[in-house]
């Protein structure tokens, strides 16, 4: 009888050990999944000095030994060869060139640029560029719908690029320039083809 009780006790202890191992495994698995999800959804934050302004929505920042090209998220400033392009670039430079900034990186584009929101202290530079009439809210990639209201205020006030009633959004400008270049190229090819076919005198 004593032997039977001892065997039952040993069996119970073994069972309890197995249960504890399973419980530890479940807890470990839950913690592991939590950190994986945290990594997947967290936003990278860069802190560095702005060393170059490319245009009204693109810049280079030095972070330690690394240099990053940053594209401002959710805004689209005029191209360099577009009306107000120079003014937009100058405005961005006056705000952040040679200054330390914090960048919340939200994505990476097909050109390898980091896309992010830039801050100096509590100032949201992306929002400021729209508010002061130096950029559009970029509809195609917009997450913060409030930026359209910010753009509307600048438009109604007629400040920055909005002093002109026929301001062209950069995405339309880029499309138009590509179409124009394509038309010119086709025209040149047509002229070249006609000259080859024309008989000599």
Cβ atoms 45, 100 nearer than 8 A: no
Mean pLDDT of 3-12: 55
Residue ranges of the domains in the chain?
44-174
Q: Would you call 65 exposed, middle or buried from its count of C-beta atoms within 10 A (0-12, 13-18, 19+)? A: exposed
pLDDT > 80? residue 200? no
One DSSP character per residue, 85-103 reads HHHHHHHHHHHHTTSEEEE
**For residue 97, what pLDDT band results from cuts at 50, 70 and 90?**
very high
pLDDT at residue 91, as a whole number: 98
pLDDT tens-digit profile of 19-72?
A: 666 666 555 554 544 444 434 445 799 999 999 999 999 999 999 999 999 999
DSSP one-letter code for 117:
E
pTM: 0.69
How far is it, in rounded angstroms, from Cα 25 to Cα 87? 60
pLDDT at residue 36, as a whole number: 47
Highest averaged pLDDT of the listed ranges 29-33, 41-45, 157-161, 185-189: 157-161
How far is it, in rounded angstroms, from Cα 98 to Cα 103? 15
In terms of CATH architecture, what is 44-174? Beta Barrel (2.40)
How far is it, in rounded angstroms, from Cα 42 to Cα 33? 14
Active site residue ranges: 71, 79, 113
Mean pLDDT of 157-173: 95
């Amino acid at each position: 009888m004593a032997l039977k009780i001892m065997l039952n006790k040993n069996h119970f202890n073994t069972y309890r050990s197995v249960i504890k191992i399973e419980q530890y495994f479940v807890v470990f698995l839950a913690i592991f999944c939590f950190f994986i999800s945290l990594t997947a959804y967290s936003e990278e934050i860069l802190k560095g000095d702005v060393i170059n302004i490319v245009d009204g929505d693109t810049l280079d920042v030095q972070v330690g030994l690394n240099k990053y090209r940053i594209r401002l998220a959710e805004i689209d400033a005029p191209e360099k060869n577009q009306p107000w392009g120079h003014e937009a670039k100058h405005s961005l430079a006056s705000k952040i060139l040679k200054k330390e900034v914090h960048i919340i990186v939200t994505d990476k584009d097909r050109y390898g640029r980091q896309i992010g929101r830039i801050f100096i202290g509590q100032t949201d530079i992306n929002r400021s560029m729209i508010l002061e009439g130096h950029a559009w809210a970029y509809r195609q990639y917009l997450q913060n719908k409030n930026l359209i209201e910010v753009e509307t205020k600048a438009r109604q006030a007629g400040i920055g690029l909005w002093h002109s009633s026929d301001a062209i959004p950069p995405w339309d400008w880029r499309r138009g320039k590509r179409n124009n270049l394509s038309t010119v190229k086709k025209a040149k090819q047509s002229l070249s083809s006609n000259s080859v076919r024309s008989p000599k005198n």
